[in-house]
Amino acid sequence: MQEYSLLVGGKAGEGINTAGLSIAGLFSRLGYHVYMYFDYPSLIRGGHNFAIIRAADEPIGAHRTGVDVLLALDRKTIETHKERIGGKTTVIYDSSQVGEERGYGLPLDEIIREEKAPPITRNTAMLGALSRVAGIDRAILEDVIRATVPEKHLDSNLRVAARGYNGVEGVFSVRPLDAPKLPVLTGNEATGLGLVYGGLDTYVAYPMTPSSGVLHFLAGRADDLRVRVVHPENEISVILMALGLAYAGERAAVGTSGGGFCLMTEGLSFAGMSEIPVTIVLAQRPGPSTGVPTHTAQSDLHFALNAGQGEFPRLVVAPGDPHEACAWSATALMLSWRYQVPAIILIDKTLAEGAYSFDLDASTPPRDHEPVLRDGGEEYRRYRRSEDGVSPLAFPGTEGVTVKANSYAHDETGFTTEKAEDVGALQEKLLRKARGLKTELGGYKTVKTYGAPESSKTIICWGSQKWVCIEAAAEVGARVVQPVVLAPFPVEAWSEAIAGASEVVCVENNATGQFARLLREYGFDPGTSILKYDGRPFAVDELTARLEGVFV
């Protein structure tokens, strides 16, 4: 595989994320698949931000430790990332901020002053220098700048980029590929698109890292996508507003992280009892409490599976990349309405804020699942008992129909009841919906496999660990098994996928092996756990080394 790895770093407020996305766009323009990991502290200004961008001639979705080029806007970047600098690493640094170093120094303060350009264009000078070092034609660099920079700032950015380009020398040559020039999307953006494909009418959210990107994406394109976006005052208002919208017939979704989801759990139980469909984007980060707000973890799995009181069915999906995030967000929203259950899209910071090459044509188109609607006839009973547990929907304003929603135990018409026979019948109705949902999911690829199909070495993973495990598996000759649906758990599909595995490793971004625990509940042996719980995702080489220490 032909690949390149680059790092750009500086202070918060210096546009490091934008710089990283510009670099990703540059390599995408050359036909490469790209992946970007963005790391930043919970600060508005100050602290150290960096982005690692990896480009390859094959699909990728994880980073490596070492880099080919390091772009340092301050000394902290060089000091923090010394272990990434190897004998062939080219360092480009701001000589206004950094003393003499190996590599190429650019006097960015001087360049900005002479070109009368905004300070943020220091990033553009670095992009120009990178292009020259990597042997990328200046015309391609300028095309990328024209595609991303607003017209009023275009001239100053082009001038600054030219100064960076001319201030260094060529070191290696990135060969353009005869391949599609794919757009670069974050997991949050792909999730938002999926919700729209699923028929989203209204997205309701209170900003909370790392789910905020869904809110920003949909709000910025609300008119084009024909959706309504609402930002209430807190997460309790978010879930209750979404339930009210769904009661009125609008497909609503909400977004949050662990702390916000805590506040939503009573509303989640309300949805379970009242059978009001709602879809929740739950983007994980380290906890408990406020935890490490801007970093990553897979530590809310059992919270998502068990949140709320009582027993009621739910759909929980854990996509592993933007393609799955798009397809399964649409599917989750539609199945939530088809079975009138809450659906949870479980992602994390690694996927939510990571940027990936996205090929819409390669995404699995979601199936169309229409809700069961009242077709007239007999007197309307909101909770009419049916063979599959799903009662036909009607909405307020329908002539001659009274629609009751009740969080208490209720009879078929929606009136509160505590009669033993009614309470038992209601619980059985909910369980029938769960069985119907599980049967429906049997027609989907709920468990996926990659790598060496006949290998007895098997790596189990879920969510954002998908791509790092796929790449590490190629290094150790293993196969990868990844569930996309976690509730209702696809027992039969998992049994088939795991058949023949004798050496099993379960890779997770949490401290207690939460998915391994889930497998044990269903009678499966998860093997040896490889865990990482410092708020950072695995690098490919890091995970490979740990796998080599387990597999004989």
* Model pTM score: 0.95
Asked if residue 372 lies in contact with residue 338, where contact means CB atoms within 8 angstroms, the answer is: yes
- Report d(CA 356, CA 346) in Å as an integer: 18
- 158 with 215, same domain: the answer is no
pLDDT of residue 13: 83
Domain termination residue (choose one: 343, 362, 381) = 362
pLDDT of residue 263: 97
Could you report the per-residue pLDDT of 26-45, keeping only the tens digit for each?
Answer: 999 999 999 999 999 998 77
pLDDT of residue 46: 78
- 230 with 143, same domain: the answer is no
In a domain, 405, yes or no: no
- 149 with 190, same domain: the answer is no
Domain termination residue (choose one: 342, 362, 382) = 362
pLDDT of residue 347: 98
pLDDT at residue 245 greater than cutoff 90: yes
The long-range contacts involving 402-406, CB below 8 angstroms and separated by at least 24 positions, are: 403/247, 405/247, 405/274, 405/276, 406/273, 406/274
Q: Residues 120-138: what's their mean pLDDT?
A: 94
- 252 with 357, same domain: the answer is yes
132, 40, 182, 200: CA torsion to nearest 10 = -160
- 99 with 201, same domain: the answer is no
pLDDT category, 237, cuts 50, 70, 90?
Answer: very high
Rg of the chain over Cα atoms, rounded to whole angstroms, equals: 25
Could you report the per-residue pLDDT of 38-77, keeping only the tens digit for each?
Answer: 999 998 777 899 999 999 999 999 999 999 999 999 999 9
In a domain, 345, yes or no: yes
In a domain, 200, yes or no: yes
Give the CATH number of the domain where residue 517 resides: 3.40.50.920
pLDDT of residue 99: 80
Asked if residue 178 lies in contact with residue 316, where contact means CB atoms within 8 angstroms, the answer is: no
pLDDT at residue 362 greater than cutoff 80: no
- 229 with 304, same domain: the answer is yes
Could you report the per-residue pLDDT of 481-533, keeping only the tens digit for each?
Answer: 999 999 999 999 999 999 989 999 999 999 999 999 999 999 999 999 999 99
pLDDT of residue 100: 72
Domain termination residue (choose one: 331, 362, 393) = 362
Domain of residue 146: give its range: 3-166
- 293 with 204, same domain: the answer is yes
Q: Which residues pair with 3 in a beta bridge?
A: 56
Asked if residue 217 lies in contact with residue 235, where contact means CB atoms within 8 angstroms, the answer is: no
pLDDT of residue 361: 79
- Report d(CA 351, CA 304) in Å as an integer: 17
In a domain, 400, yes or no: no
User: Encoding tokens for residue 143?
Assistant: 């095309």
Give the CATH number of the domain where residue 142 resides: 3.40.920.10
- 162 with 263, same domain: the answer is no
- 36 with 152, same domain: the answer is yes
In a domain, 318, yes or no: yes
In a domain, 181, yes or no: no
| Contacts with 490 (C-beta within 8 Å, 6 or more apart), sequence order | 438, 441, 442, 446, 447, 483
Residue with tokens 């304003």: 397
Give the CATH number of the domain where residue 347 resides: 3.40.50.970
- 19 with 158, same domain: the answer is yes
> What's the mean per-residue pLDDT of the chain?
95
In a domain, 380, yes or no: no
pLDDT at residue 1 greater than cutoff 90: no
- 190 with 67, same domain: the answer is no
- 284 with 200, same domain: the answer is yes
Number of separate domains in the chain:
3
Q: Which residue has the higher pLDDT, 208 or 151?
A: 208
Q: Report residue 61: phi and psi, to 5°.
A: -165, 30
User: Encoding tokens for residue 116?
Assistant: 């009368």
pLDDT at residue 377 greater than cutoff 80: no
DSSP at 273: H
- Report d(CA 448, CA 352) in Å as an integer: 21
Q: What percent of the chain has pLDDT over 70?
A: 100
pLDDT category, 171, cuts 50, 70, 90?
Answer: very high
pLDDT at residue 412 greater than cutoff 90: yes
